[in-house]
């Protein structure tokens, strides 16, 4: 056990004083105590490849201790009122807001995204906490007569394991914390091994507001996830990550019949109709194609443009994208930072190598970076591929990096079929001035979120999830809250 300042933090908050967190050292949080482990590890800043601080490497013993604390805390936390839980979420949101400068710098140093985008992510997380603080699942009265009252209600599951990815570690952690805690569950965060720092500090800060065992966090290596997914006393896994890992999570949860919510990868199509104002939509499309170095599951990954406007559209899209500044997230005016880690760098680099190997036409970029980015960072030039074959890897696979195919279409039936091809179905969009036409096309797209004249709009009160291999269940909104509950029907006989 490392010396803990948590108890002092709690008392100071109670007295109206909130001491600032330090952002130099990193611990697990178990039962509101900061703990070390026998082994530690570190990640690197993807913009510089320099080391970030050491973090714990948790063991099965750490997991068992955290799960036991979470289960003990659930006994009392599940009896608190919605108002009590909501007040704590709001206080927690306020504290994150008070540390937003530190969190933004930390997020950029571990994830790589530009500081401006880090502030946006933090702002979204704060908004999510405040929104969830007032959300509830209303009881449904199915029947009420002189003899019988039948109510359908929802009760908390118990202990939740929240497995968080490396691309949006603050928002996607809070996106599990808020619904789990407002529905009276306890939660253990398992950060990505590639981005553990913000999640550990989120948990450390939370200990000032929530009772011991309600919110905890464990950092570890690749073997930590299975310790959660197979643990007999974890009731639910809320996972965001790749399709391949999502399948492993689902299989590991099966022997104990854990509830699972899986938010997995996508290969989002955007269909651009012939009646659009090209100059007006280009900035929007470019932003939602290359934001966060295209490392967002709901970014546009396939851009289908009507053939009648294709040459003009492509030229304008290339010109706008060329103006994006690439560099470290701490540099001013940077829009595209580095890819987050070496594993992803190698995958994206392979996709760039396909350009020459498969004779694709790069309308912009296409340079293959040196295979050893040490000292240089994991950077790529944003790249646009001009009308590649429909069966090429850049169309059928999700690159999760700043390389995008732009493709021609003519027939509506054909483009709908092409957009729906494949096993993914996370997001999709249609862009047109004719809203009736756009809605008709949108309703035929096989995706959990479909937008008209936008893409990647999300909100805490709006359910979000995928079709097909892009996920199981939904996050956020009242529907997402239900995923953290067991449904229960109450039969109340009025006469005995």
Token pair of 381 as six digits:
């030039």
CA distances to 52, 101, 120, 122, 123 from 104, in Å: 15, 5, 9, 7, 10
Spot the catalytic one: 198, 273, 297, 485.
297
Tell me, yes or no, if 292 is annotated catalytic. no
Question: Using CA atoms, how far apart are residues 338 and 360, in angstroms rounded to an integer?
Answer: 24
Annotated active-site residue 485? The verdict is: no
395 contacts 389 by C-beta, under 8 angstroms? yes
Asked if residues 33 and 7 have their Cβ atoms less than 8 Å apart, the reply is: no
Q: How far apart are CA 16 and CA 208, in angstroms?
A: 12
Please state the separation of Cα 285 from the chain's center in Å.
20
- CB 482, CB 459: distance < 8 Å: no
Q: Given the residues 110, 204, 263, 475, select the one marked as catalytic.
A: 263
Indicate if the alpha-carbon torsion angle 98, 456, 138, 261 is positive or negative. negative
Residue corresponding to tokens 């009648």: 308
Name, in order, each residue with C-beta under 8 angstroms of 301's C-beta and a sequence gap of 6 or more: 266, 267, 268, 269, 294, 398, 399, 404
What are residue 471's DSSP bridge partners?
263
Which residues belong to the active site? 263, 297
């Amino acid at each position: 056990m490392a010396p803990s300042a948590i108890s002092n933090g709690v008392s100071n908050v109670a007295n109206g004083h909130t001491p600032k967190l330090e952002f130099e050292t990193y611990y697990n949080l178990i039962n509101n105590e900061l703990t070390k482990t026998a082994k530690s590890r570190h990640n690197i800043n993807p913009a510089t490849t320099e080391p970030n601080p050491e973090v714990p490497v948790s063991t099965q013993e750490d997991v068992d201790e955290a799960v036991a604390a979470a289960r003990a805390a659930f006994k009392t936390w599940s009896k608190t009122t919605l108002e009590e839980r909501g007040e704590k979420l709001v206080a927690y949101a306020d504290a994150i807001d008070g540390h937003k400068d530190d969190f933004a710098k930390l997020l950029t140093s571990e994830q790589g995204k530009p500081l401006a985008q880090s502030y946006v992510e933090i702002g979204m997380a704060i908004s999510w906490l405040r929104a969830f603080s007032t959300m509830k699942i209303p009881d449904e009265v199915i029947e009420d007569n002189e003899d019988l009252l039948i109510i359908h209600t929802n009760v908390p599951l118990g202990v939740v394991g929240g497995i968080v990815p490396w691309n949006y570690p603050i928002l996607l952690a809070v996106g599990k914390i808020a619904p789990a805690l407002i529905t009276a569950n306890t939660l253990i965060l398992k950060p990505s091994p590639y981005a553990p720092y913000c999640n550990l500090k989120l948990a450390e800060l939370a200990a000032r507001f929530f009772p011991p065992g309600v919110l905890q966090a464990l950092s570890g290596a690749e073997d930590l996830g299975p310790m959660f997914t197979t643990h007999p006393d974890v009731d639910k896994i809320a996972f965001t990550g790749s399709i391949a890992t999502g399948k492993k999570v689902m299989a590991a949860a099966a022997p104990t019949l854990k509830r699972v919510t899986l938010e997995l990868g996508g290969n989002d199509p955007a269909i651009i109709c012939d009646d659009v104002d090209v100059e007006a939509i280009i900035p929007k499309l470019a932003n939602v194609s290359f934001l966060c170095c295209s490392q967002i599951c709901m970014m546009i990954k396939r851009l289908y443009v009507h053939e009648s406007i294709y040459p003009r559209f492509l030229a304008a899209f290339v010109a706008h994208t060329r103006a994006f500044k690439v560099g470290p997230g701490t540099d001013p005016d940077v829009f595209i930072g580095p890819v987050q880690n070496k594993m992803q760098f190698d995958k994206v680099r392979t996709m760039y190598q396909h350009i020459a190997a498969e004779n694709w036409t790069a309308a912009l970029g296409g340079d293959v970076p040196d295979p050893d980015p040490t000292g240089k960072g994991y950077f790529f030039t944003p790249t646009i591929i001009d009308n590649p074959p429909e069966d090429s890897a850049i169309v059928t696979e999700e690159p999760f990096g700043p390389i995008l195919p732009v493709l021609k279409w003519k027939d509506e039936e054909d483009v709908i079929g092409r957009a729906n091809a494949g096993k993914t179905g996370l997001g999709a969009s249609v862009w047109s001035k004719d809203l009736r036409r756009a809605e008709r096309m949108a309703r035929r797209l096989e995706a959990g979120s479909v937008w008209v004249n936008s893409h990647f709009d999300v909100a805490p009160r709006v359910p979000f999830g995928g079709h097909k291999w892009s996920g199981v269940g939904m996050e956020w909104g009242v529907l997402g809250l239900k995923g953290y509950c067991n449904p229960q029907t109450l039969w109340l006989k009025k006469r005995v």
